[in-house]
């Protein structure tokens, strides 16, 4: 607790002043008092700071200010819904950009959400957080996380090892998000109980998924038949989120992507189906990622222009 408060309560004063809340400590507990939105923001900041302390063993004032900045109110969103309403019971996760907020609105209000955008925009992480929120509120009985097992030119059938060993490398990003939000032990127990299922897309064939929150990640690497199979798996009281990056298609022929077909075929099925585009401005990783993405976009644009002149 002393690491969180800082020497002579220096961290505590920064938290109080910057977040506009009152903080009281009693033993190992921290009590937050203030307006509901400020309290939710403070709880998210404190959760992140405690995670830093567990990992690093100490806390610098720069860490405190960085986390406060990360959880600053959304710009250009004067009517934004409080984060606690978008992700009830998952206070440590919140949208960082207007695009991410639109994404969570769609998940909350729509049976099927298709989201496409570049790496680092939170497509996978936010969908897993939404799934956990739905499960904790009793809206679904299980969470199903899946990916097509073809990436970077590799085929599942030609990889060495057992089925579990073959599948795991493709599902690591989903496991990472799950473990980060729930904690490793809690996530492991839910997987062992079958409440959370993480499996390759091929395992969805022939099933009807009732009372489930189903996430299809890396959907750009599905074929047309695979995507059609997936979107027809939904059963009663289920919700589906399909995410992908259409600039990162690893199929032999880009035009065979089932995700691109789905974006065209399902675009007029609102309000039951919604399509959300996340853009470069929604990237929330290290700022260098944003610059790298922009550099590649400029390079590829110049390359296409030169090819057009040849």
HEC-encoded secondary structure of 118-182: CCCCCHHHHHHHHHHHHHHCCCCCEEEEEECCEECCEEHHHCCCCHHHHHHHHHHHHHHHHHHHH
**Is the full-model pTM beyond 0.75?**
no
Top mean pLDDT of 94-108, 165-179, 278-292 is at 94-108
The count of other CB atoms within 10 Å of the CB of residue 245 is: 20
- Asked if 32 and 91 sit in the same domain, the reply is no
**pLDDT value for 153:** 39
Q: Are 210 and 119 in a shared domain?
A: yes
Q: How far apart are CA 102 and CA 121, in angstroms?
A: 12
Question: What tens digit of pLDDT does each residue of 217-242 get?
Answer: 999 999 999 999 999 988 888 999 99
Q: For the ranges 32-41, 229-238, 240-249, which has the lowest average pLDDT?
A: 32-41
Judgement on whether residues 54 and 195 belong to the same structural domain of the protein: no
Higher local confidence (pLDDT), 216 or 150: 216
Same domain, 87 and 174: yes
Which pLDDT score is estimated for 71? 64
Find the range with the poorest average confidence among 7-21, 67-81, 231-245: 67-81
Question: What per-residue confidence (pLDDT) applies to 19?
Answer: 80
CATH number at residue 22: 3.30.1370.10
Q: How far is CA 276 from CA 121, 204, 225, 305, in A?
A: 12, 24, 23, 28
Confidence (pLDDT) at 278: 95
Pair type for strands 22-26 and 29-33? antiparallel
Task: Answer yes or no: are the C-beta atoms of 181 and 129 closer than 8 Å.
Answer: yes
Q: Where is the domain boundary, 13, 47, 70?
A: 70
> Are 49 and 136 in a shared domain?
no
Domain that holds residue 23: 2-70
pLDDT at site 18: 81
Average pLDDT over residues 100-117: 95
In the predicted structure, residue 264 carries a pLDDT above the cut 50: yes
Structure tokens at 306: 């030169």
How far is residue 3 from each of residues 30, 57, 58, measured CA to CA in Å? 13, 8, 6
pLDDT for residue 164 = 46
Q: Count structural domains, the chain.
A: 2
For residues 130-141, average pLDDT: 89
Q: What gap in Å lies between CA 206 and CA 208, rounded to an integer? A: 7
pLDDT exceeds 70 at position 76: no
Q: Are residues 123 and 12 in the same domain?
A: no
To the nearest whole percent, how much of the chain has pLDDT over 70? 85
Name the least confident of 5-9, 152-156, 194-198, 227-231. Answer: 152-156
Lowest mean pLDDT among 15-19, 67-71, 242-246: 67-71
Residue 170 pLDDT: 59
In the three-class reduction of DSSP (H, G, I as helix; E, B as strand; rest coil), residue 235 is classed as coil
207 and 91 fall within a common domain: yes
Q: Of 102 and 254, which is predicted with more confidence?
A: 102
Q: What is the mean pLDDT of the chain?
A: 81
Say yes or no: 62 and 202 in one domain: no
**Which range among 72-76, 167-171, 247-251, 282-286 shows the weakest confidence by mean pLDDT?**
72-76
Q: Where are the alpha helices (DSSP H) in 143-286?
A: 163-182, 184-192, 224-231, 258-265
For helices 61-70 and 10-19, give the axis angle rounded to 10 degrees: 20
SS3 for 76? coil
| pLDDT band of 294, cuts 50, 70, 90 | confident
Determine, yes or no, domain membership for 125: yes
Q: Which residues pair with 115 in a beta bridge?
A: 243, 276
* pLDDT at residue 310 in the model: 67
Which tokens hold the place of 78?
């004067």
Tell me: do 139 and 271 sit in the same domain: yes
- Residue 79 vs residue 240, higher pLDDT: 240
Give the whole-angstrom CA distance, residue 43 versus residue 39. Answer: 6
Other Cβ atoms within 10 Å of 77 Cβ, number: 13
Q: Please give the radius of gyration of the chain, using alpha carbons only, rounded to the nearest integer.
A: 21
């Amino acid at each position: 607790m002393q690491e969180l408060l800082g020497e002579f309560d220096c961290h505590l004063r920064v938290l109080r002043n910057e977040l506009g809340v009152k903080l009281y400590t009693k033993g190992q507990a921290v009590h937050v008092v203030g307006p509901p939105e400020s309290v939710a923001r403070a709880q998210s900041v404190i959760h992140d700071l405690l995670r830093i302390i567990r990992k690093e063993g100490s806390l610098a004032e720069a860490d405190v200010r960085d986390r406060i900045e990360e959880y600053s109110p959304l710009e250009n969103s004067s009517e934004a819904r409080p984060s606690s309403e978008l992700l009830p019971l998952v206070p440590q996760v919140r949208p960082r950009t207007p695009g991410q907020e639109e994404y969570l609105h769609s998940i909350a209000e729509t049976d099927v959400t298709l989201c496409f955008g570049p790496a680092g925009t939170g497509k996978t992480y936010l969908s897993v957080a939404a799934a956990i929120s739905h499960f904790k509120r009793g809206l679904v009985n299980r969470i199903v996380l899946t990916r097509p097992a073809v990436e970077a030119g590799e085929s599942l059938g030609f990889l060495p090892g057992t089925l579990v060993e073959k599948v795991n490398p493709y599902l690591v990003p989903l496991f990472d998000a799950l473990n980060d939000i729930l904690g490793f032990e809690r996530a492991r127990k839910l997987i062992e109980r079958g409440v959370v299922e993480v499996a390759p897309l091929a395992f969805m064939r022939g099933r009807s998924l009732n009372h489930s929150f189903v996430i299809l990640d890396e959907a750009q690497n599905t074929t047309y038949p695979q995507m059609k199979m997936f979107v027809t798996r939904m059963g009663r009281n289920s919700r589906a989120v399909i995410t992908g990056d259409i600039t990162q298609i690893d199929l032999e022929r880009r035009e065979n992507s089932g995700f691109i077909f789905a974006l065209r075929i399902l675009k007029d099925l609102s309000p039951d189906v919604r399509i959300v585009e996340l853009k470069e401005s929604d990237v929330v990783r290290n700022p260098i990622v944003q610059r790298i993405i922009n550099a590649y976009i400029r390079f590829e644009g110049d390359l296409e222009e030169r090819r057009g002149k040849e």
